[in-house]
Structure 1
Amino acid sequence: MTSRRDADQHPLPDAAAHHPVPDALVHLAGTWHVERTVRDLADGSEGHFSGTVRFTPLPAPDEGGLLHHESGTFTWHGTARPAERTLRFLPGEVPGTARVEFADGRPFHDLDLRTGRHTADHPCAADLYRGDFEVADEDHWRTRWRVGGPAKDLLLITEYVRVPARPAAGSSARRGRSG
Structure 2
Amino acid sequence: MSSTARDPLPTGTAAPHPVPDAVAYLSGRWTVDRTLLDLASGAQGTFRGTAEFRAAGGAAYVLHIEDGELTWNGTVNRAGRTLRLYPGPDGTAEVTFADGRPFHALDLRTGRCSVRHPCARDVYDGTFTVVSRDEWHLRWRTTGPAKDQLHRSVYRRR
State the TM-score bracket (shorter-chain normalisation).
Answer: over 0.9
Query: Deviation of residue 65 (structure 1)?
Result: 2.3
The DSSP-based 3-state class of the residue aligned with 2:23 is helix
Instruction: Give the Cα separation in 2 of the matches to 1:6 and 1:152.
Output: 17
Alignment of 1:59-98 (within 5 A): 59-60=57-58, 63-92=59-88, 95-98=90-93
SS of structure 1 residue aligned to 2:108 = coil
Q: Secondary structure at the match of 2:99?
A: coil
Structure 1 moving runs of 4+ over 3 Å: none
Given that 1:13 and 1:136 are in contact with CA atoms closer than 8 Å, whether structure 2 keeps it comes out as no
Correspondence for 1:18: 16
Q: Distance in 1 between matches of 2:22 and 2:39?
A: 31
**Counterpart mapping for 1:35-50 below 5 A:** 35-50=33-48
Q: Quote the residue 1:141 is aligned against.
A: 136
Paired-residue identity, %: 51
CA contact (8 A) 1:145 1:156 kept: yes
Q: Deviations over 1:122-157 (max 9, x none)?
A: 000000000000000000000000000002100000
Would you say 1:132 and 2:137 are equivalent positions?
A: no
**Distance of 1:2 and 1:18 partners within structure 2:** 23
Q: TM-score, normalised by structure 1?
A: 0.83
1:23, 1:146 → 2: CA distance?
Answer: 25
Aligned to 2:95: 100
Describe the superposition over 1:93-135 as per-residue Cα deviations: whole angstroms up to 9, x where unpaired: x510010000000000000000000000000000000000000
> 2:54 matched to 1:56?
yes
State the match for 2:9 in structure 1: 6
Unaligned runs of 5+ residues in structure 2 are none
* Corresponding residue SS for 2:24: helix
Structure 1 residues not aligned, in runs of 5+? 164-179
CA drift at 1:64: 4.6
Using the size of structure 2 for normalisation, the TM-score is: 0.93
2: CA distance, partners of 1:79 / 1:18: 35
